[in-house]
Amino acid sequence: MLIRRPPDIKPSEITDRDMYYSRRQFIAGAAVAGGALLWPGRNATAGAKLPNVTPHKLSTNEEQTPWEYITTYNNFYEFGSEKSDPADYSGKFKPRPWSVAVKGECAKPGVVNLEDLVSPHTLEERVYRLRCVEAWSMVIPWVGFPLADLLQRFEPTSNAKYVAFTTVMRPEEMPGQKRRVLEWPYCEGLRIDEAMHPLAIMAVGLYGEELPNQNGAPLRLVVPWKYGFKSIKSIVKIEFTRHQPPTTWNISAPDEYGFYSNVNPEVDHPRWTQAKERRIGDFLKRETLMFNGYADQVASLYSGMDLRKYY
């Protein structure tokens, strides 16, 4: 995600990607050589294995992006706006204990502890493509469960047309929240039928382990047919609403980031093309696919809609 800043430099242009990785590898190597147990990009909370994870049929069998890239090349502005900031500055963040407040247009609102929200028997591995609006992508083996399963427990009423999500607000643990780069707390939203779609998941892990802080511990959304910024991290509030809720990047730059934000190679970002993407680790760019390759499953959600208008 980019904040317009003079003279309009993309973060990816500030540090060349290959230089960036060789620098990280150098740091990692130096940490090991120096006897350090953890390199800066691996915070101490990551690592617990999740039990009973079953592979899921909606997974892609494309080559998976290595753990090191998934956990050190992040967008999580609460920890800073450079890609390496979340790994470097999320060590103080405490993802446990955790609870989520669910409210709004539903019969059974309430505050639920993480342990009661996540049943270890329903954890699945969903290997999904993640396509960021900045035109890079990864393939990530998430561990999670259908968002619909969580939402249905609170019995949304027929007035629930949208679902709004909010990230935790903890400036003492999230240094980026002390700066007004975005309006805090980060918020996102989906239409109710999008939220109930079987591809949309709540993720609690990756590569079979609990989510590292930088990836949105302990609980984050993953909506694989939308640009990455819809996949809000470290969620503490879910609200069923009658009206379309505000979303952080739309507030920040309404001409650039719409509410729907479906991956669409035919609709360019005002400042760059969305037709191609670079898979992290690849040299050559590849074509971006409509709905990030999930068109067969989700295109019907948008039939009759002008996707240029509803970007």
Rule CB under 6 A: choose which of 43, 84, 90, 215 binds ligand MTE. 215
Residue 277 and residue 288 in contact, taking contact as beta carbons nearer than 8 Å: yes
The reply to whether 229 sits near ligand MTE by the rule CB under 6 A is: yes
Name the residue nearer to ligand MTE (CB basis): 28 or 215.
215
Segment holding 130, helix H or strand E: strand 124-131
From 5-13, 75-83, 118-126, 301-309, span contacting ligand MTE (CB under 6 A): 75-83
Name the residue nearer to ligand MTE (CB basis): 78 or 105.
78
Other CB atoms within 10 Å distance of the CB of residue 113 = 12
CB of 75 to ligand MTE, least distance (A): 4
Residue 93 and residue 233 in contact, taking contact as beta carbons nearer than 8 Å: no
Name the residue nearer to ligand MTE (CB basis): 126 or 156.
126
The reply to whether 258 sits near ligand MTE by the rule CB under 6 A is: no
State which amino acid sits at residue 167.
Answer: T
Name the residue nearer to ligand MTE (CB basis): 153 or 181.
181
Residues 234-253 touching ligand MTE, rule: CB under 6 A, are 234
From 70-78, 112-120, 266-274, 279-287, span contacting ligand MTE (CB under 6 A): 70-78
Query: Which one-letter DSSP state was computed for residue 30?
Result: H
Other CB atoms within 10 Å distance of the CB of residue 111 = 12
Distances (CA, A) of 87 to 32, 81, 207: 17, 11, 17
Residues 156-185 touching ligand MTE, rule: CB under 6 A, are 167
**CB-based burial of residue 263 (10 Å sphere; 0-12 exposed, 13-18 middle, 19+ buried)?**
buried
Instruction: Extract the tokens encoding 183.
Output: 């309006």
Residue 163 and residue 102 in contact, taking contact as beta carbons nearer than 8 Å: no
Rule CB under 6 A: choose which of 43, 72, 213, 231 binds ligand MTE. 231
Rule CB under 6 A: choose which of 42, 129, 197, 233 binds ligand MTE. 233
From 11-19, 226-234, 266-274, 293-301, span contacting ligand MTE (CB under 6 A): 226-234
Q: Any residues with CB less than 8 A from the CB of 117 and at least 6 apart, and which?
A: 100, 150, 219
Closest among 197, 147, 159 to 299, alpha carbons compared: 197
The reply to whether 83 sits near ligand MTE by the rule CB under 6 A is: no
Name the residue nearer to ligand MTE (CB basis): 162 or 184.
184
Residue 128 and residue 59 in contact, taking contact as beta carbons nearer than 8 Å: yes
Name the residue nearer to ligand MTE (CB basis): 70 or 123.
70
Segment holding 17, helix H or strand E: helix 17-33
> For 302-306, which contacts have Cβ atoms below 8 Å and span 24 or more sequence positions?
302/260, 302/262
Name the residue nearer to ligand MTE (CB basis): 53 or 84.
84
The reply to whether 228 sits near ligand MTE by the rule CB under 6 A is: yes
From 96-104, 154-162, 230-238, 282-290, span contacting ligand MTE (CB under 6 A): 230-238
Number of residues that this document lists for the chain: 311
How many residues at the interface with ligand MTE, by CB under 6 A?
Answer: 18
Segment holding 286, helix H or strand E: strand 286-287
Rule CB under 6 A: choose which of 1, 46, 118, 298 binds ligand MTE. 1
State the residues that interact with ligand MTE by CB under 6 A.
1, 74-78, 130, 132, 167, 186, 215-216, 228-229, 231-234
